[in-house]
């Protein structure tokens, strides 16, 4: 695909918020530094927190210095010259009228042709206000060759009903092909790479099914706690915050059939088929196959950290889960009988997102009569912090050790050039400007994801009190280990001390 980005204005609602500072501005800066942004381009930031343009630009640059993967101070002036700040409360209609006038002026001055990406980086309670106002001020027309698109941050609803209502509101103003629903995990290099690893390797694809794969483990572990986001997190929890989106998206990429081509629709069609094959669990199955937990006080890298219930803006008796694990199956032709174990948690020992494919043992393996038994073959897709692929296979020990030992072959994509790997948001912003929706979630994906999660959330709500605590700095509640142990399996976690899983 031609990656020349067309002229446009990138409008950020919530430009003084946390996401804009941590992700959006550093990503825009890197796209600029690498010459990827179009020459006719501007950024308009709408926010409330900062008083004026000067304070805003100082804050933007401070955020870039802190969060960007690289920095060139010489680009400061020219990059900041692209940015305009609008301070108003989103409920204030005159603010939108001024914004509309300003956008027209910028189009004239910069030749941006009325093309716009509206990025909703505000709280979900404000999505609808912005959409209404964009409509009322005729900021979405999609005519005369100009286009306007909307990038919607998560959470996309809180359940299927609220997501459906939100979707109806947005599709009342923007056509589906102009809606870019963000799941930033899709922008991560190794998740994009997964399609290539699976379908470009004779080494893997023939084995990618229930005949050879014993189980699949998908983990998103974070060492951070809830931080300053408790107001949102208290109404979400790990299930809605990460399982509903990032983990189910990872699942679709691992499990999908080869698409007919690499177009966004073909890929998304295959992903939806995976979600459609998930069977709703009965309440008894939910009790048996899911685990929730909440972190208590503990230590992360030797440093004492508080319990979730002692964090800022968390209710002292909160029963919100900061950890979720589930065992599910994808009962289709390729995967029937293979367990998929998903887990995510805050305050885990270290940050790590990984996909582990565990292969079945060979029938003749008993021939070696070894204790402990021979380790399984593993294929590990390392999503972050290291990006790469590791393969664990068995070999004979050297010298006097004639036993079979597991060894790893490790491909590290980002360790040689640590600052070269683009952040997810760089790719996502460029794709939205380009109009390529492949790495965004289509409505039917979101709907199926909520349908599956809603039943678990409802069952959990009924048993809210059953919430095991785990110590910060551990791998979650014992019940999550039990989920695998009862089937003779275990979570594979990288052990830095001996370099194995």
| Closer residue to ligand BG6 (CB): 79 or 425 | 425
Stretch (H or E) spanning 46: strand 41-47
Residue 250 CB, nearest approach to ligand BG6 (Å): 11
Q: Which long-range contacts (CB under 8 A, 24 or more apart) does 31-36 make?
A: 31/426, 31/429, 31/430, 32/75, 32/79, 32/82, 33/70, 33/72, 33/75, 33/79, 36/3, 36/5, 36/426, 36/430
| Closer residue to ligand BG6 (CB): 226 or 330 | 226
Side-chain half-sphere CA neighbours of 302 within 13 A: 0
| Closer residue to ligand BG6 (CB): 208 or 233 | 233
Residue 58 CB, nearest approach to ligand BG6 (Å): 26
Q: Which of residues 353-382 bind ligand BG6 (CB under 6 A)?
A: 353
CA 435 to CA 147: how far, in whole Å? 9
Q: Does the footprint of ligand BG6 cover residue 426 (CB under 6 A)? A: no
Task: Figure out which of the listed residues 222, 311, 321, 454 binds ligand BG6, where binding follows CB under 6 A.
Answer: 222
| Closer residue to ligand BG6 (CB): 171 or 223 | 223
Helix (H, G, I), strand (E, B) or coil at 395: strand
CA 251 to CA 298: how far, in whole Å? 31
Residue 73 CB, nearest approach to ligand BG6 (Å): 26
Q: Which of residues 239-298 bind ligand BG6 (CB under 6 A)?
A: 241-242
Residue 23 CB, nearest approach to ligand BG6 (Å): 9
Backbone angles phi, psi at 92, to 5 degrees: -90, 110
Name 458's Cβ contacts closer than 8 Å, sequence gap at least 6: none
| Closer residue to ligand BG6 (CB): 156 or 491 | 156
Helix (H, G, I), strand (E, B) or coil at 215: strand
CA 240 to CA 220: how far, in whole Å? 14
Number of residues that bind ligand BG6 (CB under 6 A): 5
Q: Which of residues 132-191 bind ligand BG6 (CB under 6 A)?
A: 154
The terminus-to-terminus CA distance of the chain in angstroms comes to 38
What does the per-residue mask of binding to ligand BG6 show for 334-353, with x meaning CB under 6 A? Answer: -------------------x
Residue 185 CB, nearest approach to ligand BG6 (Å): 7
| Closer residue to ligand BG6 (CB): 345 or 376 | 345
Q: Does the annotation mark 84 as catalytic? A: no
* Cβ neighbours of 141 (radius 10 Å): 10
Measure Cα distances from 209 to 106, 154, 214 in Å. 54, 32, 9
- Could you say which of 84, 86, 184, 246 is catalytic? 246
Residue nearest ligand BG6 by beta-carbon distance: 241
Residue 280 CB, nearest approach to ligand BG6 (Å): 24
Please name which of 421, 47, 118 lies closest in space to residue 60, comparing C-alpha atoms.
47
Would you tell me which residues interact with ligand BG6 (CB under 6 A)? 154, 222, 241-242, 353
**Positions marked active-site:** 246
């Amino acid at each position: 695909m031609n990656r020349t980005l067309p002229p446009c204005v990138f409008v950020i609602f919530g430009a003084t918020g946390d996401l804009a500072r941590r992700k959006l501005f550093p990503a825009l800066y890197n796209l600029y530094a690498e010459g990827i942004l179009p020459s006719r381009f501007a950024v308009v930031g709408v926010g409330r927190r900062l008083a004026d343009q000067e304070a805003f630009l100082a804050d933007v640059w401070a955020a870039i210095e802190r969060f960007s993967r690289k920095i060139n101070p010489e680009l400061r002036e020219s990059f900041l010259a692209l940015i305009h700040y609008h301070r108003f409360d989103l409920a204030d209609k005159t603010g939108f009228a001024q914004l509309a006038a300003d956008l027209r002026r910028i189009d004239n001055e910069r030749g941006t042709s009325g093309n716009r990406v509206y990025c909703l980086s505000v709280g979900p309670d404000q999505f609808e206000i912005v959409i209404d106002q964009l409509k009322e001020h005729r900021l979405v027309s999609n005519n005369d060759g100009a286009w306007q698109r909307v990038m919607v941050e998560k959470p996309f609803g809180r359940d299927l009903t609220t997501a459906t209502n939100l979707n109806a509101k947005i599709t009342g103003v923007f056509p589906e092909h102009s809606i870019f629903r963000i799941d930033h995990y899709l922008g991560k290099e190794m998740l994009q790479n997964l399609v290539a690893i699976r379908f470009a390797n004779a080494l893997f694809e023939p084995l990618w099914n229930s005949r050879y794969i014993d189980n699949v483990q998908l983990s998103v572990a974070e060492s951070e706690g809830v931080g300053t986001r408790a107001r949102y997190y208290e109404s979400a929890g790990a299930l809605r915050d990460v399982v509903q989106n990032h983990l189910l998206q990872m699942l679709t990429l691992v499990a999908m059939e080869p698409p007919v081509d690499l177009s966004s629709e073909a890929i998304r069609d295959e992903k939806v088929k995976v979600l459609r094959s998930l069977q709703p669990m009965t309440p008894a199955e939910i009790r048996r196959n899911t685990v929730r937990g909440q972190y208590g006080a503990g230590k992360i890298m030797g440093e004492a950290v508080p319990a979730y219930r002692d964090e800022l803006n968390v209710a002292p008796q909160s029963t919100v889960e900061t950890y979720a694990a589930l065992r599910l199956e994808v009962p289709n032709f390729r995967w029937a009988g293979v367990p998929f174990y998903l887990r995510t948690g805050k305050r885990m020992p270290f940050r790590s997102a990984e996909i582990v494919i565990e292969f079945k043992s060979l029938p003749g393996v008993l021939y070696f009569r070894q204790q402990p038994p021979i380790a399984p073959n593993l294929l590990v897709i390392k999503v972050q912090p290291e990006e790469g692929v590791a393969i664990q296979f068995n070999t004979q020990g050297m010298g006097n050790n004639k036993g079979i030992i597991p060894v790893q072959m490790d491909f590290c994509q980002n360790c040689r050039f640590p600052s070269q790997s683009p952040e997810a948001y760089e790719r996502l912003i460029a794709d939205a400007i380009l109009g390529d929706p492949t790495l965004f979630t289509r409505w039917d994906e979101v709907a199926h994801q909520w349908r599956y999660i809603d039943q678990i959330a409802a069952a959990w709500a009924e048993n809210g009190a059953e919430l095991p605590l785990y110590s910060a700095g551990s791998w979650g509640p014992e019940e999550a280990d039990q989920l695998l142990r009862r089937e003779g399996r275990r979570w594979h976690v990288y052990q830095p001390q001996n370099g194995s899983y």
